[in-house]
Amino acid sequence: MTFDRIDMNALEADLIRIRRDLHRHPETAWTEFRTTALIISELEKLGLPVEFGPAIHVPEKMYGMPKEAEMQACYERALQESDRPDLIEKMKGGFTGCITEIQGELPGPTVGIRVDIDCNDCDESAAENHKPAAGGYASLHAHCMHACGHDAHTAIGIGTARLLCAYRDRLPGKVVLVFQPGEEGLRGAASLTATGRFAECDYFFGAHVGLGISQKEKLQVGDVVASTYGFLSSTKFDAVFHGKAAHAGASPDQGCNAIAAASAAVINMLAIARHHDGASRINIGTFRGGTGRNVIPDRAELGIETRGVTNEINEYMEKAAVRVLEGAAAMYGCSVETRFMGSAGGVVCDEELVEKTVAVLEKTEGVKRIIRSGDFGGGEDVTTIMRDVQAHGGQVTEMILGMPLTAPHHNGLFDVDERVIGLGARVFASLALEVSRI
Ligand SMILES: [Zn+2]
């Protein structure tokens, strides 16, 4: 559909302004305080009810929370940088993200739409050919960068709300619009899902800008992938080895070397036999340990992730990794504990909804080419929400909004083609308005 009640040029310019503001002030998982406050004030300007804070979370399911001191530093930074510290105070402890409902004036279904809002642990490039650096809106926060386009997703979510508010008289049912924290590391969706918020959704839509298919197929803005497959099921966990400290010169035999145990575990986890049924991955991405050069180390910590093309294959990798960890600990007289940090399962988009999505996209202004299905090529915790919607009888799809890429995702030179923001808002709003009419 076309949105002729709205000055789209003015709307797009404003959404780009919002995206650049978010890009300049990126916040990692569970610390999206300023980001959430900005979203809430935008939604309140539209007169929408907004739920946020502890009410939209289940604390036991808030996986992979940052350490206390880091959380506090981010909280204080946000209080300084935001014009709505009153909102931020209600999110203390990491209760970030928000949910709004847009009630239509016609009877109809409940449509869930989710966008993610967090940034990456990544340093932004200062190169002159990197647009945010040249344009003066590069990240102000060290080691934080929107390098996956979630700043654009957030702006798309706000744009969707604005469009739908202008067409309430034509909107059937209602839209539950979710701004999810903590997608990176697959940490945020489980908490929001556990509140039961998605059980009522008849239809659910998610979307990601760019990704591998944009690179591979040279997608442009206006190319939309209506459904995705190949979500790798993934588990993120830390392993902490506990050994016994001793003088490395005088009494090495009295110690138990935690770094030796962790090293044996790293090498052997990388040697886990691959599953015959399909692709699997394992990565040990961080390794920290020890206290001093002449001390037998009594502690070592590993950051681990497993992935599999099915939940079963991921489980196989995870179990094998735990077996190796325990074996390696025993070899050196150490003990090991594992700490679950996040996970997401695979999901298959519903054909019936994909059909309807394609039909709506065909009539959506700005959509030039529709690709029915494409490889997502990674993990996304939107799958946690999608599985929940399906478990309650709803239908789901996750789309990709194509755009030319300057660099891969999670790279310091990654950038968003900002024309995708207005398009994304039109896509979500059209789907909410039209899906039940197909
Ligand atoms: Zn992402």
CB atoms < 10 A from the CB of 368, how many?
11
Q: How far is the CA of 320 from the centre of ligand 1 (A)?
A: 28
Q: How far is the CA of 361 from the centre of ligand 1 (A)?
A: 22
Q: How far is the CA of 149 from the centre of ligand 1 (A)?
A: 6
- pLDDT value at position 362? 97
Q: How far is the CA of 304 from the centre of ligand 1 (A)?
A: 19
Whether the CB-CB separation of 154 and 421 falls below 8 Å is answered with no
- pLDDT value at position 214? 93
Q: How far is the CA of 410 from the centre of ligand 1 (A)?
A: 8
Task: Pick out the chain residues at pLDDT < 50.
Answer: none
Q: Quick one: how far is CA 305 from the chain centroid?
A: 16
Q: How far is the CA of 414 from the centre of ligand 1 (A)?
A: 12
Pairing assessment for the beta strands 233-242 and 299-308 based on DSSP bridges: antiparallel
Q: How far is the CA of 375 from the centre of ligand 1 (A)?
A: 14
Q: How far is the CA of 42 from the centre of ligand 1 (A)?
A: 22
- pLDDT value at position 379? 79
Distance CA 397, CA 93 (A): 32
Whether the CB-CB separation of 27 and 65 falls below 8 Å is answered with no
Which one-letter amino acid corresponds to residue 160?
T
Residue labelled with tokens 């294959």:
313
- pLDDT value at position 162? 98
Measured between its terminal Cα atoms, the distance across the chain in Å is 13
Q: Which long-range contacts (CB under 8 A, 24 or more apart) does 352-357 make?
A: 352/395, 353/203, 353/395, 353/396, 353/397, 353/435, 354/226, 354/227, 354/397, 355/438, 356/435, 356/438, 357/205, 357/226, 357/227, 357/397, 357/399, 357/431, 357/435
- pTM for the whole structure: 0.88
Q: How far is the CA of 279 from the centre of ligand 1 (A)?
A: 21
Q: Name all domains of the chain by residue range, CATH numbers in brackets.
A: 8-232+346-437 (3.40.630.10), 233-344 (3.30.70.360)
Q: How far is the CA of 116 from the centre of ligand 1 (A)?
A: 8
**What DSSP assignment string belongs to 205-226?**
EEEEESHHHHHHTT--TTEEE-
- pLDDT value at position 324? 98
Q: How far is the CA of 207 from the centre of ligand 1 (A)?
A: 10
Q: How far is the CA of 381 from the centre of ligand 1 (A)?
A: 10
Q: Which structure tokens are listed for 434?
A: 């039209």
